[in-house]
Amino acid sequence: MPDVRSSGGVDVRDLGQLLHERRSAANKTLRQVMDEMEKALSASTLQRIEKGAVPEPQNVPVIAKWLGIPTEMIRWPGGLDSPEPSTVPDIVEVHLRADKNLGHEQAMALSEMFRTLYDRLASGADVPLLNKPNER
């Protein structure tokens, strides 16, 4: 487990990896972790988070408590305590990763498409899909 006090905290997007590492090291199943969290989160929710979904804000304190991380040490992209500046594409990525209807790969694919389109539009480049048809 990283020393969150010396590292400046834990990015909320890394909680899934930390959860998986701690659970695996303790040789526990998702159901055992769910029971230890007093069933505040389902095993399927824990699995989604371990696979890269960003936890919903109301679930972060439960996960942080289980990991032994003070909630004030959790950093959110775009937050005042974020070590790196947050961009609109970063924020969109967080929301896509948190979407229960998307798997990790789908969320990352959509995020990359959005980021590419955003960067092209922000730079002033033409985007064929958005060009108006020639008027006759």
Single-letter amino acid code for the residue at 27: N
Nearest to 98 by CA among 58, 130, 132: 58
Mean pLDDT value across residues 1-7: 49
pLDDT at 2: 47
How does DSSP classify residue 53?
P
Q: For residue 37, what are its two tokens?
A: 């969290």
Domain spans of the chain, in order of start: 1-126
Beta strand spans in the chain (E): 10-11, 74-75
- Residue pLDDT, tens place only, 17-35: 999 999 999 999 999 999 9
- Residue pLDDT, tens place only, 51-88: 988 888 889 999 999 999 998 899 887 654 444 546 78
